[in-house]
Structure 1
């Protein structure tokens, strides 16, 4: 996916395309898939192998274990998230904050092409100009008056919102001692307070919608572990994660027809974190926005409550805080989580590089 944002040249290792996420994905679709697991004993039987032969017994035991695990996963998700809601894209009105670029724009374009009605809220113009099925509204999500005005316009122009995707975010990338109060206030307002503003504005519409609704919160693993030069960002992401979980509990009691989706992402290949390089592309690969968008779109389409973690380590990040503090310190050094922001230049730095004539693959 190309982009007019510059990226420092990197030396790829011979295993650059390979990551733990890719290996797990391959195994989930082969040896860890019930259908494939049962093919093995069937193949043995096709070779006239007796049912009590050791290879046959082992393959049947493995297939049974995988099938039971799969069934447990289905039951676990049903218990945690309940029944899905019915989704008809022709009746969905999707509101996306920070949708003029990056992940938000990608989701907007996909839904626009598929026939849904999409409203994008952003302070800057859309990168691709106009997009099919997408209506742009200039709006600063840190200003509750602007949100209220735009909400009225959306209901008048497009209909009652049914999906809210809180995607707007900014990154200062400065040490706390180097930030002034204005930097901190803007970061907290954009990354945390704006979620409360949009929810208070659009949630009543979702509640009265005849088709139910879905709330999507884009969070980050940084909200679980923190990182140097990200004190404001980490605090805000921790806040919206806690807010989302509390909101989910409230809606389960008062509005069970509204679904919630929490996205805990690692480092995304977008200009938001331009200049930051992952310390280990195998264990902690940079995530492409298209992969995250696919998971979000699938959750919305299927009407599910969901908790999405990408890449693989993001699904297990809660266990980090269970480790003894000594092991946590070791893990932080190995992951270089507190030094990775030293090369950060941000979106503005990427734009400066573009003006200098440097255009490389998207980050």
Structure 2
């Protein structure tokens, strides 16, 4: 008898629980851009078109041949520029071997963090989750994840748990700061306690974990730090003042930490990744409608997790923004004030929470991001 195959729990994505929708609901600008990136905008495909024209004995002086060659050169130049730009911004990738890494995820019981933890658990990685939510021993064993009961907003608890992780698994080398809560309420209805709790979980926790786990990475001379912020950190939104402010702080924190690590002698192989997703299909903002399914579709947690895992395992630093509009949201800030106002009205960013009925309700907590 061979070794018994380990059975792993599986749960279908939430979209499978919903009734089928018309085909055009699945057509989004993200899908179109994805297809174009691997066809018309891809340098290899562009040069294949040139070769096809030559196979038909098309003369070089013909207009269609000149256009094809010009386009191929432009796409090749774009790709080369991007490679050099990323190299300058994020440096050379570090070598990553999962068996030699210790991954720490805050808020890793549910949502995006839970998906990351379970994915790495299935791959037998050394994974530690810091969360207040309880997980049974049987469930933890099935997922192959070690769960530590920890309030990441409490510096002393984080320091104590870090010592346990170092003894149980080894020195932490990958930190995914994902924990987050939201209190959808107007600033007039908020209390000092509400705001403090939001910042403790969403912002102060990052300071706690960075101060605690970064020394381990410097000691190992390698590491990756993932900061999960939100597209709302760039925008702000009515009835989400404490949440958006706490996420905006993470944008500045990420850039500051990246600059400090670059100045440390042992920080050469410590990479930083900033994640700024748009609205994800999790419980956190369930019921909030996007202004356009075509231009601003919901981001599936699996798509965000896939991008994070890809950068982490390639040993690269970078910035992740999903869906497509999240990549260009900063452009809104340089537009004339009147245009910004019109765009916000069209998008409904300041009325979405009120219309969804979430405003001033009980705390909605989910280890995820919007």
Q: Does TM, scored on the shorter chain, surpass 0.5? A: yes
1: CA distance, partners of 2:216 / 2:237: 37
Q: Decide which of 35, 52, 55 is 1:43's aligned counterpart.
A: 52
Q: Return the TM-score normalized by structure 2.
A: 0.89
Q: 1:280 to 1:54 in 2, by over 3 A?
A: same
2: CA distance, partners of 1:323 / 1:231: 22
**Cα drift, residue 139 of structure 1:** 0.8
Deviations 1:171-200 (A, max 9, x none): 101111112221111101111111101111
**Cα drift, residue 125 of structure 1:** 2.2
1: CA distance, partners of 2:292 / 2:283: 19
Q: Decide which of 211, 221, 229 is 2:239's aligned counterpart.
A: 229
- Structure 1 residue runs of 5 or longer lacking an equivalent are 352-362
Q: Decide which of 78, 81, 87 is 1:78's aligned counterpart.
A: 87
1:166 aligns with 2:177: yes
CA-based RMSD = 2.4
2: CA distance, partners of 1:152 / 1:274: 37
Partner of 1:359: none
Secondary structure of the residue aligned to 1:50 is: coil
Q: How many residues align?
A: 349
**Cα drift, residue 348 of structure 1:** 6.9
Q: Decide which of 12, 19, 32 is 2:28's aligned counterpart.
A: 19
Q: 1:151 to 1:319 in 2, by over 3 A?
A: same
1:253 aligns with 2:263: yes
Partner of 1:53: 62
Partner of 2:322: 310
Partner of 2:253: 243
Query: Aligned runs of 1:1-363 on 2, under 5 Å?
Result: 2=12, 15-126=24-135, 129-130=139-140, 131-210=142-221, 212-254=222-264, 255-342=267-354, 343-345=356-358
**Cα drift, residue 350 of structure 1:** 8.8
Q: 1:66 to 1:111 in 2, by over 3 A?
A: same
Q: Return the TM-score normalized by structure 1.
A: 0.91
1: CA distance, partners of 2:272 / 2:101: 15
1: CA distance, partners of 2:208 / 2:162: 11
**Cα drift, residue 213 of structure 1:** 0.1
Secondary structure of the residue aligned to 2:276 is: strand
Q: 1:17 to 1:3 in 2, by over 3 A?
A: closer
- Structure 2 residue runs of 5 or longer lacking an equivalent are 1-10
Q: 1:156 to 1:293 in 2, by over 3 A?
A: same
